[in-house]
Structure 1
Amino acid sequence: MLMSIATFALAACATPWQNGKFGPDEASAIAKLGQPREVYELPNGSKRLMWHTRPFGEKTTAIDIDADGKISQVRQVLAESEFEQAQIGLWTRHDVLTNFGKPLEIAKFPRMQREVWSYRYRDNDVWYVLYHFHFDSNGTLRSTQQTPDPLHDPDHRNLFRRIF
């Protein structure tokens, strides 16, 4: 009994792509996960379907569908290994959008002629982090940055209690 409760609790914490297998096609993915929150057209007639757990979650499940409607890839895209693929000086806003989905937040810095897109994720499933993509005024990726996620920072969470 205790083992089945623990298994159920762990399954509830898993992201959709970890909860079992998908069928071979787009329809099976939608049947299991519901309608995707974002859909992006990719080269060769393929597309990427995305399900995210925002605003407070740190996971985005991406399923790539080939031109024949078959699942070609399933992965969690908000991960260090995925972010490292971004190519500074080559990627644009469109590349970041189609690889990671809509950002959690967009900040604009007119004097610096920069726009920063931020994504919440868990580094190694341990540390709560924000990953930032810095774009120039032409929309080209100029730098990336990681910072602690203030939502999970105990020093900031308890600030109100320490003041009063």
Structure 2
Amino acid sequence: MQFRNGIWLAATALVLGACATLQPVETGQKMIGSTEASVRDAFGKPTETYPLGDGTSRWIYSKQPLGYAVYAADFDAGGKLANFRQMLTEQEIYTARPGVWTKRDVAERFGMPREPVQYYPLMKREAWSYRLYVAGYQPAHFSAYFDDRGVLDRTMIIVDPLGGDDHSSSK
């Protein structure tokens, strides 16, 4: 009987892991209220963790630099999953507050950049870049520019001219 229970548990873990890989947002949303241990079992070790000011915490699961997603698992003060979402969306990016946010704020929202950090001496700006999809799976780059004090100066989304949908090309 223990052998069957072991197989059942292993199969359940395998299915949950497959769902977390194929549909991470849907899987994470179904896990709201779960413990940190359950989230770690489903998604693995986070790439970054941040204690937030209100006693909550955020785990970042970055698929950068080659992927197009950064997922955030937000936990309440009791360690229960309160929200799980994809952070590299236009809606999330438009919440950025130039002149207010710092590098820490951007990192808490989108994770640390996995692309090389660029510095533009004429602008005196450091740029962090992330890959994302916009407007129906159009590959693009999101950049956050910081002044020399580490304060967010501006954000920019640039569509990748080489990316896009193969279906529109003539055959």
Partners of 1:12 and 1:150 in 2: how far apart? 31
Alignment partner for residue 26 of structure 2, among 5, 12, 18?
18
Residue pair 2:64, 2:130 contacting (<8 A) in 1 also: no
- Show the counterpart of 1:64: 74
Task: Tell me the SS of whatever aligns to 1:36.
Answer: coil
TM-score (ref. length: structure 1): 0.79
Alignment partner for residue 99 of structure 2, among 89, 94, 103?
89
Is 1:126 the equivalent of 2:137? yes
Partners of 2:162 and 2:35 in 1: how far apart? 37
- Show the counterpart of 1:103: 113
Structure-2 change in CA distance of 1:115 and 1:150 (3 Å):
farther
Does 118-127 or 15-24 show the bigger shift?
Answer: 15-24
Residue pair 1:104, 1:120 contacting (<8 A) in 2 also: no
**1:31-70 matches, cutoff 5 A:** 31-70=41-80
Task: Tell me the SS of whatever aligns to 1:96.
Answer: helix
Structure-2 change in CA distance of 1:14 and 1:123 (3 Å):
farther
- Show the counterpart of 1:157: none
- Show the counterpart of 2:86: 76
Deviation at 1:125, TM superposition (A): 3.9
Partners of 1:63 and 1:52 in 2: how far apart? 11
Please give the root-mean-square deviation of Cα atoms over the aligned residues, in Å.
2.2
Unaligned runs of 5+ in 2: 1-18, 166-171
Does 33-42 or 102-111 show the bigger shift?
Answer: 102-111
Partners of 1:113 and 1:90 in 2: how far apart? 18
Does 143-152 or 71-80 show the bigger shift?
Answer: 143-152
Structure 1 stretches of at least 4 aligned residues deviating more than 6 Å after TM superposition: none
Unaligned runs of 5+ in 1: 1-10, 155-164
Deviation at 1:150, TM superposition (A): 6.0
Task: Tell me the SS of whatever aligns to 2:25.
Answer: helix
TM-score (ref. length: structure 2): 0.76
Task: Tell me the SS of whatever aligns to 2:141.
Answer: strand
Deviation at 1:12, TM superposition (A): 8.8
Partners of 1:13 and 1:19 in 2: how far apart? 9
Partners of 1:50 and 1:148 in 2: how far apart? 24
Q: Percent identity?
A: 38
